[in-house]
Structure 1
């Protein structure tokens, strides 16, 4: 079977593009530490109010310059609604929901999680600069979805 010059060119370009995409994927995953979010644990939504750490949502300092923010997204609010942290802090968001699927996005960052009843989501980010970031629900969660927002204030 004879392969035409054009076929060789298309196969070569396709092979090079495949190699470049795989190299970029490996670099992003292993070199930059970017990973797809997944469930960090499971929790019974009916027992959310009595199960640590969700029985006391809020901001906790877990080390020098390191904070953990325990959050609950529920129709149609964030608990806590306002988060204050110092600039330069590494913040780990630990979040869940007792009711329906919510999306949690902190504007201007790569914090973007899906909150699914029964699952615990976890995502970390270093807030380098002072300012305010809007905390939004990006998954339609009902009639008052547009009122589900909060603030992350970096001081």
Structure 2
């Protein structure tokens, strides 16, 4: 059986593309250090997350030198804090976001970063990131949550350390 040289070329090209695809998926899963968001946050009361012992009032809490916890409640159609008042954190800090929802599934994405998780009723999502430079970031819900989903947005401001004051302390 004779195989035309263009057919051989396409077969080789397809095999190379398959190997490249498998390689990029493997690198993204193992080499780059990205992982799935775990269930480390635990379960919370799905109708009132504030009743759970692991959930604090929405706000920014200092837990150590240059380490902060931010508790965010996603609810129709806003983030508390975030929508009515921006989340303010200091530059050169490590921040762990604890995100809960008491009504429906929401998304929590800080635009321009790798922070992207779902807020599922009854669960607390935890995501940690470092912020080195001052700047302003948008916060969006990327899971359809109802008729005003498109308006569910907020802001996070990273300010110089000298301009930062915590909303509350741990």
What's the TM-score, normalizing by structure 2?
0.77
Q: Which of 119, 127, 131 is the equivalent residue of 1:127?
A: 131
1:71 pairs with 2:75:
no
1:86 pairs with 2:90:
yes
Q: Secondary structure at the match of 2:50?
A: helix
Counterpart of 2:7 in structure 1 is: 7
Shift of 1:4: 4.0
Shift of 1:90: 1.9
Counterpart of 2:142 in structure 1 is: 138
CA distance in 2, matches of 1:63, 1:19: 45
CA contact (8 A) 1:54 1:71 kept: no
Counterpart of 2:59 in structure 1 is: 58
Q: 1:11 to 1:38 in 2, by over 3 A?
A: farther
Q: 1:9 to 1:39 in 2, by over 3 A?
A: farther
Q: Which of 94, 114, 121 is the equivalent residue of 2:118?
A: 114
Counterpart of 1:105 in structure 2 is: 109
Q: 1:122 to 1:55 in 2, by over 3 A?
A: closer
Q: Secondary structure at the match of 1:28?
A: helix
1:44 pairs with 2:45:
yes
Shift of 1:39: 4.2
Q: 1:147 to 1:52 in 2, by over 3 A?
A: farther
Q: Secondary structure at the match of 2:124?
A: strand
CA contact (8 A) 2:49 2:122 kept: no
CA distance in 1, matches of 2:49, 2:93: 27
Counterpart of 1:28 in structure 2 is: 28
CA distance in 2, matches of 1:119, 1:43: 6
CA contact (8 A) 2:56 2:71 kept: no
CA distance in 2, matches of 1:127, 1:12: 45
RMSD of equivalent CA atoms: 2.3
Greater shift in the superposed pair: 59-68 or 84-93:
59-68
